[in-house]
Structure 1
Amino acid sequence: MIKALLVDDEPRARETLRAILERFFPDVSVLGEASGVEEAFVAITNLKPNTVFLDINMPDGTGFDLLKMFDNEMDFKVVFVTAFEEHALEAIKFSAFDYILKPINTNELRAAIEKLSTTLEESDEISVKLKAFFENVETPSQGKKKIVLKTNESIHLVPIQSIVRCEADGNYTKVLLDNQPKLLISKSLKYFEDMLQEFGFVRVHQSHLVNINHIVRVDKIDGGVLAFADGAQVPISVRKREQLLKMLSNL
Protein backbone atom coordinates (compact mmCIF):
# COMPACT_ATOMS: atom_id res chain seq x y z
CA MET A 1 0.00 0.00 0.00
CA ILE A 2 1.29 3.44 -0.95
CA LYS A 3 0.79 5.86 1.95
CA ALA A 4 1.13 9.33 0.46
CA LEU A 5 1.59 12.93 1.53
CA LEU A 6 0.73 15.67 -0.98
CA VAL A 7 2.98 18.74 -0.81
CA ASP A 8 2.09 21.77 -2.93
CA ASP A 9 1.51 25.43 -2.10
CA GLU A 10 -1.50 25.57 -4.46
CA PRO A 11 -4.68 24.22 -2.80
CA ARG A 12 -6.29 23.48 -6.16
CA ALA A 13 -3.28 21.42 -7.24
CA ARG A 14 -3.51 19.33 -4.06
CA GLU A 15 -7.27 18.92 -4.49
CA THR A 16 -6.86 17.77 -8.09
CA LEU A 17 -4.16 15.23 -7.27
CA ARG A 18 -6.11 13.89 -4.28
CA ALA A 19 -9.28 13.53 -6.40
CA ILE A 20 -7.42 11.61 -9.12
CA LEU A 21 -5.72 9.32 -6.61
CA GLU A 22 -8.92 8.58 -4.72
CA ARG A 23 -10.89 7.89 -7.90
CA PHE A 24 -8.44 5.81 -9.92
CA PHE A 25 -5.87 4.39 -7.49
CA PRO A 26 -7.39 2.40 -4.60
CA ASP A 27 -3.93 1.17 -3.57
CA VAL A 28 -2.92 4.73 -2.67
CA SER A 29 -3.97 6.10 0.72
CA VAL A 30 -3.56 9.87 1.12
CA LEU A 31 -2.46 10.48 4.72
CA GLY A 32 -2.45 14.25 4.51
CA GLU A 33 -1.39 17.45 2.75
CA ALA A 34 1.11 20.26 3.27
CA SER A 35 1.49 23.67 1.63
CA GLY A 36 5.16 24.37 2.27
CA VAL A 37 8.55 23.07 3.35
CA GLU A 38 8.19 23.51 7.13
CA GLU A 39 4.65 22.16 7.20
CA ALA A 40 5.72 19.19 5.09
CA PHE A 41 8.64 18.41 7.39
CA VAL A 42 6.29 18.23 10.38
CA ALA A 43 3.74 16.16 8.46
CA ILE A 44 6.35 13.65 7.27
CA THR A 45 7.76 13.33 10.77
CA ASN A 46 4.34 12.73 12.31
CA LEU A 47 2.48 10.81 9.59
CA LYS A 48 5.43 8.77 8.26
CA PRO A 49 4.30 8.39 4.64
CA ASN A 50 6.22 6.01 2.40
CA THR A 51 5.68 8.32 -0.60
CA VAL A 52 5.67 12.11 -0.98
CA PHE A 53 4.22 13.81 -4.07
CA LEU A 54 6.28 16.97 -4.01
CA ASP A 55 6.08 20.34 -5.74
CA ILE A 56 9.38 22.12 -6.38
CA ASN A 57 8.75 25.83 -5.81
CA MET A 58 6.99 26.89 -2.61
CA PRO A 59 6.93 30.17 -0.66
CA ASP A 60 9.28 29.01 2.10
CA GLY A 61 11.71 27.05 -0.05
CA THR A 62 11.93 24.25 -2.59
CA GLY A 63 11.16 20.56 -2.56
CA PHE A 64 14.89 19.95 -2.55
CA ASP A 65 15.28 22.05 0.60
CA LEU A 66 12.76 19.71 2.21
CA LEU A 67 14.69 16.59 1.20
CA LYS A 68 17.96 18.02 2.52
CA MET A 69 16.34 18.41 5.94
CA PHE A 70 16.13 14.62 6.17
CA ASP A 71 19.66 14.03 4.84
CA ASN A 72 20.40 10.28 4.93
CA GLU A 73 17.49 9.55 7.29
CA MET A 74 14.93 9.73 4.50
CA ASP A 75 12.82 6.57 4.43
CA PHE A 76 10.21 7.59 1.84
CA LYS A 77 10.03 7.73 -1.95
CA VAL A 78 9.59 10.99 -3.84
CA VAL A 79 7.63 11.82 -6.96
CA PHE A 80 8.02 15.43 -8.10
CA VAL A 81 4.86 17.05 -9.42
CA THR A 82 5.94 20.14 -11.28
CA ALA A 83 5.23 22.58 -14.08
CA PHE A 84 7.67 22.35 -16.96
CA GLU A 85 10.94 24.11 -16.21
CA GLU A 86 13.50 22.90 -18.71
CA HIS A 87 16.67 23.32 -16.64
CA ALA A 88 15.23 21.86 -13.43
CA LEU A 89 13.48 19.05 -15.30
CA GLU A 90 16.72 18.01 -17.00
CA ALA A 91 18.44 17.91 -13.61
CA ILE A 92 15.59 15.80 -12.17
CA LYS A 93 15.90 13.29 -15.02
CA PHE A 94 19.67 12.95 -14.70
CA SER A 95 19.34 12.55 -10.93
CA ALA A 96 16.99 9.55 -11.37
CA PHE A 97 14.10 11.11 -9.45
CA ASP A 98 10.56 10.22 -10.56
CA TYR A 99 8.37 13.08 -11.74
CA ILE A 100 5.06 13.92 -13.39
CA LEU A 101 4.22 17.19 -15.08
CA LYS A 102 1.41 19.61 -14.39
CA PRO A 103 -1.36 19.51 -15.51
CA ILE A 104 -1.44 15.92 -14.29
CA ASN A 105 -1.88 13.22 -16.91
CA THR A 106 -3.54 10.12 -15.45
CA ASN A 107 -1.45 7.76 -17.56
CA GLU A 108 1.80 9.39 -16.41
CA LEU A 109 0.59 9.18 -12.82
CA ARG A 110 -0.31 5.51 -13.28
CA ALA A 111 3.19 4.76 -14.62
CA ALA A 112 4.77 6.49 -11.63
CA ILE A 113 2.56 4.61 -9.17
CA GLU A 114 3.22 1.26 -10.84
CA LYS A 115 6.94 1.92 -10.51
CA LEU A 116 6.50 2.94 -6.86
CA SER A 117 4.63 -0.28 -6.12
CA THR A 118 7.64 -2.34 -7.17
CA THR A 119 10.34 -0.23 -5.53
CA LEU A 120 8.95 0.79 -2.13
CA GLU A 121 11.26 -1.63 -0.32
CA GLU A 122 14.39 -0.53 -2.18
CA SER A 123 16.95 1.92 -0.78
CA ASP A 124 16.76 5.21 -2.66
CA GLU A 125 20.28 6.55 -1.91
CA ILE A 126 18.83 10.05 -1.68
CA SER A 127 22.18 11.68 -0.89
CA VAL A 128 23.61 10.62 -4.25
CA LYS A 129 20.53 11.81 -6.12
CA LEU A 130 20.55 15.18 -4.38
CA LYS A 131 24.25 15.62 -5.06
CA ALA A 132 23.63 14.96 -8.75
CA PHE A 133 20.69 17.33 -8.86
CA PHE A 134 22.45 20.31 -7.28
CA GLU A 135 25.64 19.79 -9.27
CA ASN A 136 23.64 19.75 -12.52
CA VAL A 137 21.53 22.79 -11.59
CA GLU A 138 24.64 24.76 -10.65
CA THR A 139 26.63 23.65 -13.72
CA PRO A 140 25.74 25.57 -16.90
CA SER A 141 28.27 23.64 -18.97
CA GLN A 142 26.80 20.55 -20.61
CA GLY A 143 30.24 18.95 -20.62
CA LYS A 144 30.30 18.81 -16.80
CA LYS A 145 26.83 17.45 -16.10
CA LYS A 146 26.37 14.12 -14.30
CA ILE A 147 23.86 11.28 -14.40
CA VAL A 148 22.79 8.80 -11.73
CA LEU A 149 23.07 5.17 -12.89
CA LYS A 150 21.65 2.35 -10.76
CA THR A 151 22.81 -1.24 -11.01
CA ASN A 152 21.49 -4.14 -8.94
CA GLU A 153 24.35 -3.63 -6.48
CA SER A 154 25.10 0.09 -6.42
CA ILE A 155 24.16 3.61 -7.41
CA HIS A 156 26.74 5.61 -9.36
CA LEU A 157 27.14 9.33 -10.01
CA VAL A 158 28.78 9.50 -13.43
CA PRO A 159 29.97 12.48 -15.53
CA ILE A 160 28.06 12.24 -18.80
CA GLN A 161 31.16 12.80 -20.89
CA SER A 162 32.89 9.82 -19.25
CA ILE A 163 30.34 7.56 -20.98
CA VAL A 164 32.04 6.17 -24.07
CA ARG A 165 29.11 4.19 -25.45
CA CYS A 166 25.99 2.25 -24.53
CA GLU A 167 25.16 -1.21 -25.83
CA ALA A 168 21.78 -2.96 -25.79
CA ASP A 169 21.67 -6.20 -23.81
CA GLY A 170 18.11 -7.52 -23.95
CA ASN A 171 15.97 -5.31 -21.70
CA TYR A 172 19.16 -3.94 -20.13
CA THR A 173 21.89 -1.59 -21.33
CA LYS A 174 25.63 -1.97 -20.85
CA VAL A 175 27.13 1.46 -20.15
CA LEU A 176 30.84 1.52 -20.98
CA LEU A 177 32.84 4.21 -19.23
CA ASP A 178 36.24 5.75 -19.82
CA ASN A 179 38.81 3.77 -17.78
CA GLN A 180 36.13 2.36 -15.44
CA PRO A 181 34.25 -0.96 -15.19
CA LYS A 182 31.13 -1.20 -17.35
CA LEU A 183 27.72 -0.90 -15.70
CA LEU A 184 24.65 -3.02 -16.45
CA ILE A 185 21.55 -0.83 -16.12
CA SER A 186 17.92 -2.00 -16.19
CA LYS A 187 16.92 0.61 -18.76
CA SER A 188 16.46 0.29 -22.52
CA LEU A 189 18.89 1.76 -25.03
CA LYS A 190 16.06 4.06 -26.15
CA TYR A 191 15.97 5.51 -22.62
CA PHE A 192 19.63 6.49 -22.88
CA GLU A 193 19.20 7.76 -26.43
CA ASP A 194 16.43 10.13 -25.31
CA MET A 195 18.46 11.28 -22.29
CA LEU A 196 21.81 11.81 -24.00
CA GLN A 197 21.17 12.83 -27.60
CA GLU A 198 21.73 16.51 -26.77
CA PHE A 199 25.15 15.70 -25.32
CA GLY A 200 26.91 14.41 -28.42
CA PHE A 201 25.50 10.88 -28.40
CA VAL A 202 24.16 9.24 -31.54
CA ARG A 203 22.44 5.89 -32.15
CA VAL A 204 24.67 4.46 -34.90
CA HIS A 205 23.14 0.99 -34.86
CA GLN A 206 20.11 -0.79 -33.44
CA SER A 207 22.26 -2.01 -30.54
CA HIS A 208 24.74 0.85 -30.11
CA LEU A 209 24.64 4.44 -28.84
CA VAL A 210 28.01 6.20 -28.94
CA ASN A 211 29.57 9.39 -27.62
CA ILE A 212 31.10 11.00 -30.70
CA ASN A 213 33.77 12.66 -28.54
CA HIS A 214 35.28 9.22 -27.83
CA ILE A 215 35.50 8.01 -31.43
CA VAL A 216 39.14 7.67 -32.51
CA ARG A 217 38.64 6.43 -36.06
CA VAL A 218 35.99 5.74 -38.69
CA ASP A 219 36.83 2.76 -40.91
CA LYS A 220 35.01 2.35 -44.23
CA ILE A 221 35.24 -1.45 -44.23
CA ASP A 222 32.06 -3.54 -44.06
CA GLY A 223 29.84 -0.52 -44.56
CA GLY A 224 31.46 1.49 -41.79
CA VAL A 225 32.94 0.73 -38.38
CA LEU A 226 33.77 3.02 -35.45
CA ALA A 227 36.95 2.42 -33.48
CA PHE A 228 37.47 3.43 -29.84
CA ALA A 229 40.55 3.85 -27.66
CA ASP A 230 39.87 0.59 -25.79
CA GLY A 231 40.03 -1.36 -29.05
CA ALA A 232 36.26 -1.79 -29.36
CA GLN A 233 34.67 -1.61 -32.79
CA VAL A 234 31.05 -0.65 -33.40
CA PRO A 235 29.21 -1.10 -36.72
CA ILE A 236 27.42 1.81 -38.38
CA SER A 237 24.00 1.17 -39.88
CA VAL A 238 23.47 2.47 -43.41
CA ARG A 239 20.65 4.82 -42.39
CA LYS A 240 22.72 6.39 -39.59
CA ARG A 241 25.93 6.96 -41.54
CA GLU A 242 25.01 10.37 -42.96
CA GLN A 243 23.85 11.72 -39.59
CA LEU A 244 27.03 10.51 -37.89
CA LEU A 245 29.36 11.99 -40.53
CA LYS A 246 27.53 15.32 -40.28
CA MET A 247 27.99 15.37 -36.49
CA LEU A 248 31.67 14.51 -36.78
CA SER A 249 32.24 17.26 -39.32
CA ASN A 250 30.95 19.80 -36.80
CA LEU A 251 33.43 18.83 -34.07
Structure 2
Amino acid sequence: MIKVVLIDDEKNALEMLEWQLQTYCPQVEIVALANTADKGIDAIQRHTPQLIFLDIEMPKKNGFEVLQAFASPSFDVIFTTAYDQFALKAFRFAALDYLLKPIDAGDLVNALKRYERKVQGNFKQQLDILMQQYQHPGTQPEKISFATQQAVHFVKPETILYGESDGNYTTLFFLDNTKLMVSKTLKEVEEVLVPYQFLRIHNSFLINLKHVSRYIKADGGSVEMVGGAQLPISRQRKDAVMQILNV
Protein backbone atom coordinates (compact mmCIF):
# COMPACT_ATOMS: atom_id res chain seq x y z
CA MET A 1 0.00 0.00 0.00
CA ILE A 2 1.10 3.57 -0.73
CA LYS A 3 0.79 5.76 2.38
CA VAL A 4 -0.74 9.09 1.33
CA VAL A 5 -1.48 12.45 2.98
CA LEU A 6 -3.92 14.90 1.36
CA ILE A 7 -3.47 18.64 1.94
CA ASP A 8 -6.01 21.17 0.63
CA ASP A 9 -7.81 24.10 2.27
CA GLU A 10 -10.95 23.52 0.17
CA LYS A 11 -13.19 21.08 2.06
CA ASN A 12 -15.09 19.91 -1.03
CA ALA A 13 -11.89 19.37 -3.03
CA LEU A 14 -10.32 17.44 -0.14
CA GLU A 15 -13.34 15.16 0.29
CA MET A 16 -13.68 14.59 -3.46
CA LEU A 17 -10.01 13.63 -3.79
CA GLU A 18 -10.37 11.27 -0.82
CA TRP A 19 -13.40 9.62 -2.45
CA GLN A 20 -11.68 9.33 -5.84
CA LEU A 21 -8.61 7.69 -4.32
CA GLN A 22 -10.72 5.25 -2.30
CA THR A 23 -12.83 4.42 -5.35
CA TYR A 24 -10.26 4.21 -8.15
CA CYS A 25 -6.90 3.63 -6.45
CA PRO A 26 -7.03 0.55 -4.17
CA GLN A 27 -3.24 0.58 -3.79
CA VAL A 28 -3.51 3.79 -1.73
CA GLU A 29 -3.85 4.06 2.05
CA ILE A 30 -4.95 7.57 3.09
CA VAL A 31 -3.33 8.13 6.50
CA ALA A 32 -4.33 11.78 7.02
CA LEU A 33 -6.27 14.72 5.60
CA ALA A 34 -5.23 18.30 6.37
CA ASN A 35 -7.04 21.54 5.54
CA THR A 36 -4.20 23.93 6.45
CA ALA A 37 -0.50 24.03 5.70
CA ASP A 38 0.46 23.67 9.37
CA LYS A 39 -1.81 20.65 9.81
CA GLY A 40 -0.27 19.22 6.67
CA ILE A 41 3.25 19.61 8.05
CA ASP A 42 2.17 17.94 11.29
CA ALA A 43 0.50 15.07 9.39
CA ILE A 44 3.66 14.44 7.35
CA GLN A 45 5.81 14.40 10.48
CA ARG A 46 3.42 12.04 12.28
CA HIS A 47 2.71 9.57 9.49
CA THR A 48 5.83 9.69 7.24
CA PRO A 49 3.85 9.18 4.01
CA GLN A 50 5.38 7.97 0.77
CA LEU A 51 3.30 10.42 -1.27
CA ILE A 52 1.39 13.64 -0.63
CA PHE A 53 -1.24 15.39 -2.71
CA LEU A 54 -0.60 19.08 -2.12
CA ASP A 55 -2.64 22.16 -3.01
CA ILE A 56 -0.49 25.16 -3.94
CA GLU A 57 -2.60 28.18 -2.99
CA MET A 58 -3.67 28.08 0.65
CA PRO A 59 -4.16 30.89 3.18
CA LYS A 60 -1.32 31.88 5.55
CA LYS A 61 1.13 29.33 4.11
CA ASN A 62 1.15 27.96 0.58
CA GLY A 63 2.12 24.51 -0.62
CA PHE A 64 5.73 25.47 -1.24
CA GLU A 65 6.11 26.57 2.38
CA VAL A 66 4.89 23.13 3.44
CA LEU A 67 7.74 21.57 1.45
CA GLN A 68 10.29 24.05 2.78
CA ALA A 69 9.59 22.71 6.27
CA PHE A 70 11.47 19.54 5.25
CA ALA A 71 15.18 19.91 4.49
CA SER A 72 15.39 16.57 2.68
CA PRO A 73 11.88 15.35 1.83
CA SER A 74 11.53 11.56 2.00
CA PHE A 75 8.20 11.63 0.15
CA ASP A 76 7.01 12.37 -3.37
CA VAL A 77 4.50 15.06 -4.28
CA ILE A 78 1.65 15.34 -6.73
CA PHE A 79 0.52 18.96 -6.85
CA THR A 80 -3.15 19.83 -7.20
CA THR A 81 -3.73 23.22 -8.75
CA ALA A 82 -6.16 25.47 -10.56
CA TYR A 83 -3.27 27.31 -12.26
CA ASP A 84 -3.62 28.51 -15.83
CA GLN A 85 -1.61 27.08 -18.70
CA PHE A 86 1.18 29.69 -18.42
CA ALA A 87 1.90 28.86 -14.79
CA LEU A 88 1.85 25.13 -15.51
CA LYS A 89 5.04 25.63 -17.53
CA ALA A 90 6.84 25.73 -14.19
CA PHE A 91 5.87 22.13 -13.49
CA ARG A 92 7.11 21.07 -16.94
CA PHE A 93 10.47 22.77 -16.36
CA ALA A 94 10.84 20.84 -13.10
CA ALA A 95 9.46 17.50 -14.39
CA LEU A 96 7.13 17.35 -11.38
CA ASP A 97 3.64 15.88 -11.52
CA TYR A 98 0.45 17.89 -11.12
CA LEU A 99 -3.31 17.51 -11.44
CA LEU A 100 -5.61 20.28 -12.62
CA LYS A 101 -8.73 20.99 -10.59
CA PRO A 102 -11.40 19.75 -10.87
CA ILE A 103 -9.47 16.50 -10.84
CA ASP A 104 -10.43 13.95 -13.46
CA ALA A 105 -10.52 10.35 -12.21
CA GLY A 106 -8.58 9.09 -15.24
CA ASP A 107 -5.85 11.69 -14.72
CA LEU A 108 -5.64 10.69 -11.06
CA VAL A 109 -5.22 7.00 -11.89
CA ASN A 110 -2.52 7.84 -14.45
CA ALA A 111 -0.69 10.03 -11.93
CA LEU A 112 -0.58 7.11 -9.49
CA LYS A 113 0.73 4.83 -12.24
CA ARG A 114 3.49 7.34 -13.02
CA TYR A 115 4.38 7.49 -9.34
CA GLU A 116 4.56 3.70 -9.07
CA ARG A 117 7.01 3.37 -11.96
CA LYS A 118 9.01 6.47 -11.09
CA VAL A 119 12.66 6.20 -10.12
CA GLN A 120 13.51 8.52 -7.24
CA GLY A 121 15.09 11.69 -8.61
CA ASN A 122 16.67 14.70 -6.95
CA PHE A 123 13.42 16.13 -5.60
CA LYS A 124 15.14 19.06 -3.88
CA GLN A 125 16.70 20.24 -7.14
CA GLN A 126 13.41 19.78 -8.98
CA LEU A 127 11.66 21.81 -6.29
CA ASP A 128 14.26 24.60 -6.59
CA ILE A 129 13.48 24.90 -10.31
CA LEU A 130 9.75 24.98 -9.58
CA MET A 131 10.18 27.63 -6.86
CA GLN A 132 12.22 29.83 -9.20
CA GLN A 133 9.43 29.71 -11.77
CA TYR A 134 6.74 30.33 -9.18
CA GLN A 135 8.51 33.34 -7.68
CA HIS A 136 9.76 34.77 -10.99
CA PRO A 137 7.25 33.80 -13.70
CA GLY A 138 8.42 34.41 -17.24
CA THR A 139 12.09 33.77 -16.48
CA GLN A 140 13.88 30.71 -17.81
CA PRO A 141 15.75 28.46 -15.38
CA GLU A 142 19.40 27.70 -16.12
CA LYS A 143 18.64 23.99 -16.06
CA ILE A 144 15.57 21.94 -16.98
CA SER A 145 14.59 18.56 -15.58
CA PHE A 146 13.99 15.64 -17.94
CA ALA A 147 12.82 12.28 -16.63
CA THR A 148 14.00 9.03 -18.21
CA GLN A 149 13.02 5.49 -17.24
CA GLN A 150 16.07 5.34 -14.96
CA ALA A 151 16.49 8.80 -13.42
CA VAL A 152 15.79 12.54 -13.56
CA HIS A 153 18.44 14.52 -15.47
CA PHE A 154 19.16 18.25 -15.12
CA VAL A 155 20.10 19.73 -18.47
CA LYS A 156 21.32 23.13 -19.66
CA PRO A 157 19.19 23.90 -22.76
CA GLU A 158 22.11 25.50 -24.61
CA THR A 159 23.90 22.13 -24.63
CA ILE A 160 21.11 20.50 -26.67
CA LEU A 161 21.56 20.37 -30.46
CA TYR A 162 18.16 18.93 -31.37
CA GLY A 163 15.42 16.55 -30.36
CA GLU A 164 14.04 13.66 -32.40
CA SER A 165 10.62 12.11 -31.89
CA ASP A 166 10.46 8.44 -30.91
CA GLY A 167 6.76 7.75 -30.37
CA ASN A 168 5.87 8.71 -26.79
CA TYR A 169 9.54 9.49 -26.11
CA THR A 170 12.07 12.01 -27.43
CA THR A 171 15.78 11.51 -27.99
CA LEU A 172 17.84 14.62 -27.19
CA PHE A 173 21.18 15.02 -28.98
CA PHE A 174 23.89 17.12 -27.28
CA LEU A 175 26.93 19.15 -28.31
CA ASP A 176 29.26 16.61 -26.69
CA ASN A 177 27.89 13.82 -28.97
CA THR A 178 25.89 12.19 -26.17
CA LYS A 179 22.17 11.53 -26.36
CA LEU A 180 19.33 10.99 -23.90
CA MET A 181 15.91 9.40 -24.38
CA VAL A 182 13.40 11.27 -22.21
CA SER A 183 9.88 10.33 -21.15
CA LYS A 184 8.15 13.13 -23.06
CA THR A 185 6.67 13.43 -26.53
CA LEU A 186 8.37 15.88 -28.89
CA LYS A 187 5.40 18.22 -28.47
CA GLU A 188 5.89 18.23 -24.69
CA VAL A 189 9.63 18.86 -25.10
CA GLU A 190 8.84 21.66 -27.56
CA GLU A 191 6.59 23.39 -25.00
CA VAL A 192 9.48 23.47 -22.53
CA LEU A 193 12.27 24.44 -24.96
CA VAL A 194 10.62 27.08 -27.19
CA PRO A 195 11.62 29.92 -24.78
CA TYR A 196 15.27 28.91 -25.36
CA GLN A 197 15.14 29.54 -29.14
CA PHE A 198 14.17 26.05 -30.22
CA LEU A 199 12.10 25.56 -33.38
CA ARG A 200 10.02 22.65 -34.66
CA ILE A 201 11.09 22.12 -38.29
CA HIS A 202 9.42 18.76 -38.88
CA ASN A 203 7.00 16.39 -37.14
CA SER A 204 10.07 14.46 -36.02
CA PHE A 205 12.61 17.21 -35.28
CA LEU A 206 13.04 20.17 -32.92
CA ILE A 207 16.25 22.18 -33.35
CA ASN A 208 18.27 24.64 -31.30
CA LEU A 209 18.51 27.71 -33.56
CA LYS A 210 21.77 28.71 -31.86
CA HIS A 211 23.47 25.61 -33.27
CA VAL A 212 22.38 25.72 -36.93
CA SER A 213 25.50 25.89 -39.12
CA ARG A 214 23.82 26.18 -42.54
CA TYR A 215 20.65 25.87 -44.59
CA ILE A 216 20.71 23.38 -47.48
CA LYS A 217 18.39 24.08 -50.44
CA ALA A 218 18.55 20.63 -52.08
CA ASP A 219 15.87 17.94 -51.66
CA GLY A 220 13.19 20.29 -50.38
CA GLY A 221 15.37 21.99 -47.79
CA SER A 222 17.21 20.88 -44.67
CA VAL A 223 19.43 22.31 -41.96
CA GLU A 224 22.88 21.21 -40.93
CA MET A 225 23.59 21.39 -37.24
CA VAL A 226 26.92 21.95 -35.50
CA GLY A 227 28.60 18.55 -35.65
CA GLY A 228 27.24 17.72 -39.10
CA ALA A 229 23.78 16.25 -38.54
CA GLN A 230 21.46 17.12 -41.46
CA LEU A 231 17.76 17.34 -40.60
CA PRO A 232 14.88 17.68 -43.08
CA ILE A 233 12.43 20.58 -43.06
CA SER A 234 8.80 19.62 -43.68
CA ARG A 235 6.98 21.26 -46.58
CA GLN A 236 4.39 22.77 -44.24
CA ARG A 237 7.04 24.43 -42.05
CA LYS A 238 9.51 25.47 -44.75
CA ASP A 239 8.37 29.09 -45.22
CA ALA A 240 8.37 29.78 -41.48
CA VAL A 241 11.79 28.17 -41.02
CA MET A 242 13.31 30.14 -43.92
CA GLN A 243 11.91 33.37 -42.51
CA ILE A 244 13.32 32.71 -39.06
CA LEU A 245 16.71 31.69 -40.50
CA ASN A 246 16.59 34.76 -42.77
CA VAL A 247 17.36 32.78 -45.95
TM-score range, shorter chain: 0.7 to 0.9
In 1, the alpha carbon distance for the partners of 2:158 and 2:31 equals 42
Equivalence for 1:186: 183
SS at match of 2:70: helix
Aligned length: 247
Aligned-pair RMSD on alpha carbons? 2.5
Q: 134, 137, 158: which is aligned to 2:134?
A: 137
Runs of 4+ that moved beyond 6 A:
none
Once the two structures are superposed, residues 123-174 of structure 1 have per-residue CA deviations (whole angstroms, 9 ceiling, x without a partner) of 2311110121123334455555542023455533223344331123465422
Equivalent residues in 2 for 1:1-251 (5 A)? 1-72=1-72, 74-119=73-118, 122-140=119-137, 142=139, 144=141, 146-151=143-148, 154-169=151-166, 171-179=168-176, 181-197=178-194, 199-249=196-246
- The verdict on how the C-alpha distance between 1:144 and 1:234 changes in structure 2, with shifts beyond 3 A counting, is same
Structure 1: any 5+ residue segments left out of the alignment? none
Partner amino acid for 2:186?
L
- Larger deviation: 138-147 or 59-68? 138-147
Identity of aligned residues (%): 35
Structure 2: any 5+ residue segments left out of the alignment? none
In 1, the alpha carbon distance for the partners of 2:184 and 2:85 equals 23
- The verdict on how the C-alpha distance between 1:113 and 1:240 changes in structure 2, with shifts beyond 3 A counting, is same
CA contact (8 A) 2:144 2:157 kept: yes
CA contact (8 A) 1:175 1:184 kept: yes
TM-score by length of 2: 0.87
State the Cα distance separating 1:24 from its structure 2 match: 2.3
Partner amino acid for 1:15?
E
- The verdict on how the C-alpha distance between 1:143 and 1:213 changes in structure 2, with shifts beyond 3 A counting, is farther
TM-score by length of 1: 0.86
